[in-house]
Homo-oligomer: A and B are copies of this chain.
Amino acid sequence: LFIIAFSTPVYKNFMQKKVSIKDIARKLGISISTVSFVVNGKAREKRISEDVISRVTKLVEELGYKPDALARSFRTGKTYIIGFLVDDISRPFFSSLARFIDEEAEKNGYKIIYSSTGNSKTKAKELLQIFYDRHVDGYIIALPEGLENEVEELLHSKKPVVLFDRYFPGLDTDYVIIDNVSGTAEASRHLLSRGFRHIGFVTINTIEQQMLDRQKGYEHALRDAGAPVSILKIDYGLNQPSVQQIATYLKKNPGLDAVIFSANYLCMDGLRAIRQLGLKIPDEISVLSFDDFELLELYSPSVTAIAQPLEAIAANIMAVLLGRLESKMAEASPRQIILPTSLKIRESTRRK
């Protein structure tokens, strides 16, 4: 970003007025243009003499001059801020990504501002508007259902937009997702290979693409094996809490010997339901979760899970975004990245 290493912490010198480009120019008896060129690494390009370069460099270091970020942003329109829009930053999946993404951004001089939509379409629109108004340089978005049009319009702003977690088949944009179909297919085959035949699948009643894909992987694997398919679609926001819906489902289907929860919050509720019913895992029912998280490894028995490659997701998001920002691939066609999941086999799916 800057070509000069600034070692002096500047906020330690509040008392003295902050140094501006004018100060440097005046003290050296040269113009601010020249100082600007040197500071921005355009000295050679502008053919500034070696002598002037070194005098500027020296004084800049001495006085701890840094171009004011606000003035620069105002002038150039670049804020070095990236907007990160998620359902809920407090969910482990998003907060883990937040950590990795921030670290990657950091290395390139960017900062992240985030916001949680809480799954509200209205809120999501407002937040995108706020990001836009604040001139973020790029967007990282877990696309809320029904926001396809807004995101499409955002693309006209020519700022890079990278979707993740979900995508919308009709949107021709960058995205980084995981291979949901293969993830659940592999998990289903794992259960089948361990002798489970009556495998239930718990999902939510939605049109979200990633949830549909997960269901598809399960259905395909079971049909290929000639095993019966049994799906519970939870209605969120209905009067009945999901723990109860799952408990009812399990009671009504006593023949099930395994169940796949298609999201970690469903698995949490599933574990609660199973505990309520007093079922033993894995002897009475085998459990498998989409999206691994700390609890599953620590639970007794530990729970088999389809893990998302968090670090790889973050790395890919940032590689695409930074690539576009640094205009190495500003005009390249959309990069659509699908990462493999990995199955963490644990005690909850022990062979019958």
Contacts and interface: CB of A to CB of B under 8 A. Distances in A.
Contact of A268 (B96, B111, B298): B298
Contacts of A114: 98, 102, 112, 114
Q: Name the 4 nearest CB pairs between A and B, nearest first.
A: A95-B95, A74-B74, A11-B132, A90-B99
A12 B135 CA distance: 14
B11 A153 contact: yes
A157 B14 contact: yes
Interface stretch (A38-46, A63-71, A162-170): A63-71
Interface of A: 9-12, 14-15, 66, 69-71, 73-74, 77, 79, 81, 88-92, 94-96, 98-99, 102-103, 106, 111-116, 125, 128-130, 132-135, 150, 153-154, 156-158, 268, 271-272, 275, 294-295, 298-300
Q: What is the copy number of this chain in the assembly?
A: 2
B98 A89 contact: yes
A294 to B, nearest CB: 7
B73 A102 contact: no
Given A103-B116, A134-B69, A11 B90 contact: no
6 contacts: A11-B157, A14-B156, A69-B135, A89-B95, A102-B114, A295-B298
Contacts of A268: 294, 298
B69 A71 contact: no
A267 to B, nearest CB: 10
A64 to B, nearest CB: 11
A271 B294 CA distance: 12
A180 B94 CA distance: 29
A268 B70 CA distance: 44
Given A11-B128, A74-B74, A96 B102 contact: no
A299 B303 CA distance: 12
A178 to B, nearest CB: 18
A122 to B, nearest CB: 11
B79 A90 contact: no
A142 B292 CA distance: 28
Nearest to A300: B300
Contact of A298 (B11, B115, B150, B271): B271
B111 A106 contact: no
B90 A115 contact: no
Contact of A74 (B73, B91, B99): B73
